[in-house]
Amino acid sequence: MSTNARVAAAATQKNRFRTGETSLIGVFGHPDDRRALVRHPSGRIEKVRPGERLKGGRVAAIEADSLVYLSSGRERRLKMPSD
């Protein structure tokens, strides 16, 4: 399978995300300046970085495979889907 075919197959997996929930799609950037792509239940995709608002809270950290945000004084974590 060529690289393009593998990318296309990975990008089109069915039932990868729960559509009624906010999901972490990906993390990118240098470890000192990471950003994350988040999919909202509406289908809207948003790029966020630490300090920005998300889901009524604020992004506290972006790690290699997860995003941590604070909402109502509680720490919440969005994780990348596993294989």
Domains in the chain and their CATH numbers?
17-79 (2.30.30.830)
Give the integer Cα–Cα distance in Å for 5 and 7.
5
Residue 52 has pLDDT above 60, yes or no: yes
Residue 13 has pLDDT above 60, yes or no: no
Q: Rounded mean pLDDT of the chain?
A: 85
Residue 76 has pLDDT above 90, yes or no: yes
33 token code pair: 């300046």
- SS3 for 41? coil
Give the integer Cα–Cα distance in Å for 74 and 83.
28
Residue 8 has pLDDT above 90, yes or no: no
Q: What is the pLDDT of residues 17-41, one digit of tens each?
A: 566 789 999 999 999 999 999 999 9
Q: How many CB atoms lie within 10 A of CB 52?
A: 13
Q: What is the pLDDT of residue 81?
A: 79
Nearest to 74 by CA among 52, 56, 62: 56
Give the integer Cα–Cα distance in Å for 83 and 16.
9
70 token code pair: 């604070």
Q: What is the pLDDT of residue 6?
A: 63
Residue 14 has pLDDT above 80, yes or no: no
pTM above 0.95, yes or no: no
